[in-house]
Structure 1
Amino acid sequence: MLKRNRTLKKADAELDITSFMNLMIVLVPVLLMMMVFSRITVLELTLPPLLSNASPSELENKQLELLVNGEGMNVYYPTGYLLQKINKKEGQHDYALLQQTLKELKQTLLNKGADKEDIVLLLDDQVPYQTIVKLMDTTRSYKEVVGVDVVDAELFPSISLADAPNIVDEAGNAVSDAFSVNKGVAL
């Protein structure tokens, strides 16, 4: 007997990528729109300048300092002179008063022709992380209405972090209000 050799011709398979293309048409714009909402912001911090190797012109003590401890916040300008003492309100720091004080100081400095952009945050060991973040946001900028738009106006964007000084009085007790001896404003 004779065997017939049957061979079936296979038809070429057709790829249907229509549904994949529809998915890409919808997915790509959605992903591009989401990129705008998921930005990562980076805040650059610096260390306070070392005074030991500074020139005499840099030692004018024109440094803006914000001392933060468990009792409240103290704004010093220039170094050692208490500009504003901000006590806690109902157990919380008064960021609104701090921002108002910094806005007034910035305006005073601008009126005198000085454009100061740096601030040193002197932080106590017990200051929580969330408070530090809120302080940096408060001292960097504030919301200002210009025309019909709300914009971020600049206060002191160059932020340095340092430990709060431990001041000891004659009896050996720690003084919580550092630089309390020099009260007054010398702009």
Structure 2
Amino acid sequence: MRRHRRAQQEAELDITSFMNLMIILVPVLLISMVFNHITVLELRLPLEEELKQQDLDPEELTLEVIVRESEMVVNFGPLTIETLPKKDGQYNFEGLSKTLQAMKKKLGNERTDIVILSEPDIDYQVLVSVIDTAKSFPAVIAASVVNAVLFPDVSLGDAPRLVSGGLAQ
């Protein structure tokens, strides 16, 4: 005995509405990606144990920017290069940039590290501005403004405490 099967019609897939959704969704997602850009600051945070294990020579000179409530101080090892007091309640980022540019010329392009030390009560935005100032500066090259590199390898730390008459560790 033979069974007769009915001829079944295959269902048609209607993907028009799905294609319309994709045509709208893909450009919207691509455009929104530009507005969701997050800037990340790369930092090297020194660990005390690592420094002890490496037996770093204390005589090795490091370039430091100390951010205090009343001023910024640029040191190269034990030498104080420049003290930049606040002007009208604002930090002198332009003076800091000029000082670091001069240090870059003296130290050469091989030197890329800098240590930024701050007091605990320093505002976060001030610290980010110091990091940005230490990393690069605007320079005019071929009639266009570009960011020239200063000291891109930034390390952070706590500033030594001030005691009347000098510094304390």
Q: TM-score range by the shorter chain?
A: 0.7 to 0.9
Residues 100-121 of structure 1: CA distance to partner in whole angstroms, max 9, x if unpaired? 11111112222xxx62111111
> Structure 1 residues 27, 97: closer, same or farther in 2, change over 3 A?
same
1:105 corresponds to which of 96, 103, 106: 103
Paired position in structure 2 for 1:76: 75
User: CA separation in 1, counterparts of 2:98 and 2:35?
Assistant: 30
User: CA separation in 2, counterparts of 1:150 and 1:72?
Assistant: 29
Aligned-residue offset at 1:55: 5.1
Identity of aligned residues (%): 44
TM-score (norm 2): 0.77
Structure 1 unpaired stretches of 5+: 1-10, 180-187
User: CA separation in 2, counterparts of 1:154 and 1:38?
Assistant: 26
User: CA separation in 2, counterparts of 1:21 and 1:148?
Assistant: 47
Residues 120-155 of structure 1: CA distance to partner in whole angstroms, max 9, x if unpaired? 111112211111111111111122222243322111
> Structure 1 residues 15, 54: closer, same or farther in 2, change over 3 A?
closer
Residue 60 of structure 1 aligns with an amino acid whose one-letter code is: E
Range with bigger deviation, 99-108 or 18-27: 18-27
Aligned Cα root-mean-square deviation (Å): 2.8
Aligned-residue offset at 1:12: 8.6
Paired position in structure 2 for 1:27: 25
Paired position in structure 1 for 2:3: none
Local SS of the residue matching 1:46: coil
TM-score (norm 1): 0.71
Aligned-residue offset at 1:49: 7.2
Matched ranges for 1:104-183 at <5 A: 104-110=102-108, 115-168=110-163, 173=164, 175=166, 178=167
Aligned-residue offset at 1:159: 1.0
Aligned-residue offset at 1:48: 4.1
1:85 corresponds to which of 83, 86, 98: 83
Residues 17-56 of structure 1: CA distance to partner in whole angstroms, max 9, x if unpaired? 4243223123213322332442333323223476655557
User: CA separation in 2, counterparts of 1:117 and 1:49?
Assistant: 19
Paired position in structure 2 for 1:61: 60
Asked whether the equivalents of residues 48 and 120 of structure 1 are also in contact (C-alpha less than 8 Å), the reply is no
Is the radius of gyration larger for structure 1 or structure 2? 1
Range with bigger deviation, 139-148 or 29-38: 29-38
Local SS of the residue matching 2:39: coil
Structure 2 unpaired stretches of 5+: 1-8
